[in-house]
Amino acid sequence: DQQVKQNSPSLSVQEGRISILNCDYTNSMFDYFLWYKKYPAEGPTFLISISSIKDKNEDGRFTVFLNKSAKHLSLHIVPSQPGDSAVYFCAAFSTGGFKTIFGAGTRLFVKA
């Protein structure tokens, strides 16, 4: 039972353009969402998060949008840079459950 789904295994974008990574979830109890970034041979690192009481959170080039009614969130990277090439994991957390559920990840390629 995949509670957090990232349906696009990979995404290729030209440098300078916008990258949009999508994530869907099924459990309405999730109240906090995170994006992690992972380079090869390294562990995931935290990128940005959003609480369910918000619909947008911005940090520099990274913006996360949350649509609770659709149980959907997205990560926007503008402008995309070659150094952004990595695997991006969407994760969801329920305050009552104390467990973070990760999606399968989307591999982003940013072409110079």
Partner 1 sequence: EAGVAQSPRYKIIEKRQSVAFWCNPISGHATLYWYQQILGQGPKLLIQFQNNGVVDDSQLPKDRFSAERLKGVDSTLKIQPAKLEDSAVYLCASSLDLRGKETQYFGPGTRLLVL
Interface with partner 1 (CB under 8 A) = 4, 6, 9, 32, 34, 36, 41-46, 49, 51, 89, 91, 93-95, 98-105
Least distance CB 42 / partner 1 (angstroms): 6
Cβ distance to partner 1 smaller for residue 18 or 52? 52
**Three-class secondary structure of residue 50 per DSSP:** strand
**Residue pair 49/35 in contact by the 8 Å Cβ criterion:** yes
Least Cβ distance, residue 58 to partner 1 (angstroms): 17
Q: How far is the CB of 30 from partner 1 (least distance, A)?
A: 10
Q: Which residues contact 86 (CB under 8 A, 6 or more apart)?
A: 37, 38, 39, 107, 108
